Chains A and B, each alone.
Chain A
Amino acid sequence: MRAGVMRALTWRAPEIRLRNPGLWAIGSMSLVASFFIILPVLTIILSSFRVGLPGEFSPLTLANYREAFFDPFTWQVLVNTLFFALGTVVVILFFAVPSAWLIQRTDIPLKKLWLTLLALGIVIPTFLKAIAWILLLSPQIGIVNRLLIDAFGLSGPPFNIYNIWGMSFVQGVILTPPAFFMIAAAYKSMDPSLEEASYASGASGLVTFIRINFPLSLPAIIAATLYLFITAIEVFEVPGLIGAPARIFVFSTLIYYATHPEVGLPKYGLAGGYGMIVLVLALLGSYFYYRVIRQSHKYEVVTGKGYRPKLVELGRLRGLAILFLLIYFTLEIFLPFLTLVWASLVPYIQVPSAEAFTKVTLANYLKVPDYAGLRPFLNTALLMLIAPTISMVFSLILSWVVIRSKVKGRYVLDGVAFLPHAVPSILFAVALSYLALAYREFFPVYGTLTIIVLANSIKYISFGTRTVNGALIQIHHDLEEAAEVSGASKVKVLSSIITPLLGSALLNGWLWISLLAFREVTMALTLSSPKNVMLSTLVWNLWSAGYVPEAAALGVMMVFVLGGFLVLARKLGEKVIGGL
């Protein structure tokens, strides 16, 4: 083991010079991706120095920054945001790290079921999950609170969801699956010889996990942590539904209300000012991320020799492990899904009771075809196929340049790839929309499905590159060197060696981006027109109109349809690359 680590520590990345057409193509694609990422971000930055609506004449001004920075409320919001994001990440790590290890590195049974459940959780719209948690933990009507009060004769409700910790808990549970998939690839491809050496030295499973598995997966865990920390800063639905009504604001809610005011017109410039604060936080996070991946060669574990991870036997701990996963899935899927089913069966949201059961009906399901039509299904299917494909192709290229080349400024390229995630979705969509409007004659995508596909493709490049980076770091250069010695070009190495080895991570990334694009609602709403209605916006609109049972019925149907899609994708994945 020591020899392997020493070899890794003394290894130097080969220099890649863009001398052949293939590499020029890669370079050009990196630049194209960067252009499409940077342009909207620059538009947002520019808008933060203007007042009024996009396109209205306004001299450059610091008014938005003055309004944002000189208001003590902003700093209170900053504190709220940081606590919310930290709390969310703690919950995520608590569930995601053990889950990833259990499912990828141990002999825990029913792995396919766990993996499908993890992916399935994302198809339940976040705002419906948030409502479910309100029904469960509200001090007034929370079912859990009612049960505990009755069981223990308590004088008041033990739980109150309307605080930072309630928000963090719900958001953390909801964001665990993406973290799982980002970390799982690292665990899956871990070199078994290190674990075997640990066991041979007499270490237990837990000690091996703490001393071997955990440190080896650290880049993936840090990458996931930073990624989801930024995500938690940006997400709107949980803070909007649970925090804002109780006047607990975070930056995402401030930005949302600045762009969707109930009074006056949207203040995109002020939203841009808030967005810059989020951007700075995100860039700070990415700085630490780069420091980690600069040390990435220490963590290479997939070599050309004996790569086939062996599973850890759980033995007597198997029951405990299954219980842990069951608790998580109860929180993430079963409880919210049951609530969703319940909401879809009643004429309006109400707490289950004997009287409420008499009102159960399937009428909401029968209304779905009237509300949906065919177009949103078709648009959503196209989005789910095209956006992740574009995103993953560019992610692979960008990650390869960043991790494998010595091109100057490659870490800047990775920073660029991370930018879309650092910018709040609403602002990103507003900027794209304005650019598409301004350059409608040259690039006619305004109001089309293409602009939503483009927005999602760009937005999730950050997720794609994080996933590929994490997996690419672990593939030893031996393999590329061997191929190059045999006369293979860099492009050939990328397509014939790297891509197949990354198959699992690429497919995971593709699938996940597909599901994220399916669920994404804020950009789709901002970019919507009569011709690009998506299922996510349809559900959101039903919810916004107060048609919660219909939204729930559509949500339940989508869970089943996408459940089928996931099973199909997994079977395909097994055939093509031997599983996800």
Chain B
Amino acid sequence: MIHERPSESGHCWRFVGSAWLVVLSVSGLFPGNGNAITPTQAERLPRLIEAARREGEIDFAGPSSLTPKGAQALIAALNKKNGLALKLNYVPSTNYPAVVSRVITEIQAGQAPTFDAVYLTEFNMAKLHSRGFLDPFDWRGIFNYVTRDSIHFDDGGILIATIFTLPVYNTNLIKSQDLPKQWEDLVSPRWKKKLVVAKYVQHWVSLSEVWGEEKSVEFLKRLRAQEPLYALYPEIQTRLASGEYALAASQVSPFVEVARQRGMPIDYVDGVTPVPVLFDMMGVPKRSRHPNAARLFVAFSLTPEGQAVWADFTGRSSLFIPGTPAAKFGRGKKLLMRNMKALVENPERFEKLENKFADALGIK
């Protein structure tokens, strides 16, 4: 599926979301105007801001590359825009599944989750969604800049950044004419024992939509036979920049962007297609202690100001928002989008594929 637009689905949850708004109206958080007319966008935003002001803070699990400084830059920009003095308590996530597991455990124990807002990949967000642990919200009813492209998981997840995945190389060690021309070239004997391979399979799952399952498994087995060094994304950056390895089978765009900012001799292997695009999302878990402040924070991340901070500190931005680095990067490229409809409808299928591919690659 090339560049398929993620679609909306899950009427049931939308109903729950609407019902939930009704409950809020009754509770006084979004007081109705007394004549049963839905409040307008202009009326609801000030109420949300006021509710956020009363909550005062947000506990947020975000990517570790945001850093405390980036987190403070985000909240400062949000406060400035809305005339607030919210405090952002940021906890860097070093492992998204561990964050998901924690939120699930806390909610199942009948407790408020530690985090009011979470930043996760779409696969991990799907695990919260499939258990009904994401709080849906009428984003477009309040924030007119939030487009349909950015709303997923039945209004429970907001797409904050689109992550491009490509092979990368050390520009000091490999000449451009010697670079792989297509994904399949990575399994050439030339790169035996000279490759770094990421310990993730989400992008291989995307490619399997084009290649088919059988070819994907075969490819990953051959990649494993290359006797690569397995590493997480940050480590790939270190191994490549130090010159220990010259080529990585895949790297995600945020790390390449940061590498460029720092002057590291790392660049994409250009021309390899299609380019799998993964979705990084934010959501507000159920039972959150500061839901209104969290929603305001999530929505702010989609504003041009919010996107600029995310791009500056983490190299992440969304191609669905005009003018962002991601939008510029994606222009003219053959992109392979995540099939969100399929993920929402059948997350188990993706989980099975993940496990199968991890097994074939030897990282399970």
Q: Taking the complex as formed, is B147 at the interface, i.e. its CB lies under 8 A from any CB of chain A? A: no
Q: Taking the complex as formed, is B68 at the interface, i.e. its CB lies under 8 A from any CB of chain A? A: yes
Bound together, the chains give a CA A359 to CA B241 distance in angstroms of: 14
Q: Taking the complex as formed, is A308 at the interface, i.e. its CB lies under 8 A from any CB of chain B? A: no
Q: Taking the complex as formed, is A360 at the interface, i.e. its CB lies under 8 A from any CB of chain B? A: no
In A243-291, the 8 Å CB interface with B consists of 244-247, 259-266, 268
Residue of B nearest to A373 (CB): B68
In B69-110, the 8 Å CB interface with A consists of 69, 89-92, 94-95, 97-98, 100-101, 104-106, 108-109
Query: Do A541 and B89 form a contact, CB below 8 Å, given A350-B241, A437-B109?
Result: no
Q: A265-B101, A529-B59, A541-B64 are in contact. List 9 more A-B contacts (CB 8 A).
A: A246-B229, A263-B358, A370-B67, A372-B68, A525-B94, A530-B90, A533-B91, A542-B64, A545-B66
Query: Do A247 and B97 form a contact, CB below 8 Å, given A54-B105, A447-B114?
Result: no
Of the listed stretches B211-219, B255-263, B329-337, name the one at the interface; the rest are far from the partner chain.
Answer: B255-263
Bound together, the chains give a CA A543 to CA B235 distance in angstroms of: 9
Binding site for A on B (CB under 8 A): 59-60, 63-69, 89-92, 94-95, 97-98, 100-101, 104-106, 108-109, 111, 114, 127, 199-201, 229-235, 237-238, 241-245, 255, 258-259, 262-264, 351, 354-355, 358, 362-364
Q: Taking the complex as formed, is A579 at the interface, i.e. its CB lies under 8 A from any CB of chain B? A: no
Residue of A nearest to B230 (CB): A245
Cβ of B60: which chain A residues have Cβ within 8 Å of it? 530
Cβ of B200: which chain A residues have Cβ within 8 Å of it? 262-263
Query: Do A53 and B104 form a contact, CB below 8 Å, given A262-B200, A265-B97, A543-B234?
Result: yes
Bound together, the chains give a CA A372 to CA B104 distance in angstroms of: 29
User: Which DSSP category, helix, strand, loop or mixed, fits chain A's interface?
Assistant: loop
Closest beta carbon of chain A to B316's beta carbon, Å:
12
Contact of B64 among A265, A347, A545 (CB under 8 A): A545
Cβ of B351: which chain A residues have Cβ within 8 Å of it? 264
Bound together, the chains give a CA A260 to CA B95 distance in angstroms of: 6
Cβ of A334: which chain B residues have Cβ within 8 Å of it? none
> Contact at B231–A245, with CB atoms within 8 Å?
yes
Closest beta carbon of chain B to A355's beta carbon, Å:
10
> Contact at B105–A530, with CB atoms within 8 Å?
no
Q: Taking the complex as formed, is A440 at the interface, i.e. its CB lies under 8 A from any CB of chain B? A: yes
Closest beta carbon of chain A to B211's beta carbon, Å:
19
Q: Taking the complex as formed, is A452 at the interface, i.e. its CB lies under 8 A from any CB of chain B? A: no
Closest beta carbon of chain A to B16's beta carbon, Å:
22
Cβ of B231: which chain A residues have Cβ within 8 Å of it? 245
Query: Do A263 and B201 form a contact, CB below 8 Å, given A54-B105, A349-B241?
Result: yes
Closest beta carbon of chain B to A525's beta carbon, Å:
7
Contact of A266 among B59, B67, B101 (CB under 8 A): B101
Cβ of B259: which chain A residues have Cβ within 8 Å of it? 348
Most chain-B CB neighbours within 10 Å: which of A348, A373, A540? A348
Closest beta carbon of chain B to A140's beta carbon, Å:
5
> Contact at A53–B65, with CB atoms within 8 Å?
no
A to B CB contacts below 8 Å, 22 in the list: A53-B105, A54-B105, A246-B229, A247-B362, A262-B97, A262-B199, A262-B363, A263-B363, A264-B355, A266-B97, A350-B241, A350-B243, A351-B243, A371-B67, A372-B68, A437-B106, A437-B111, A447-B114, A545-B64, A545-B67, A546-B234, A546-B255
> Contact at B89–A530, with CB atoms within 8 Å?
yes
Bound together, the chains give a CA A367 to CA B60 distance in angstroms of: 22
Closest beta carbon of chain A to B257's beta carbon, Å:
11
> Contact at B354–A263, with CB atoms within 8 Å?
yes
> Contact at B89–A56, with CB atoms within 8 Å?
no
Cβ of B354: which chain A residues have Cβ within 8 Å of it? 263-264
Closest beta carbon of chain A to B343's beta carbon, Å:
15
> Contact at B111–A260, with CB atoms within 8 Å?
no
Q: Taking the complex as formed, is A55 at the interface, i.e. its CB lies under 8 A from any CB of chain B? A: yes
Q: Taking the complex as formed, is A138 at the interface, i.e. its CB lies under 8 A from any CB of chain B? A: yes
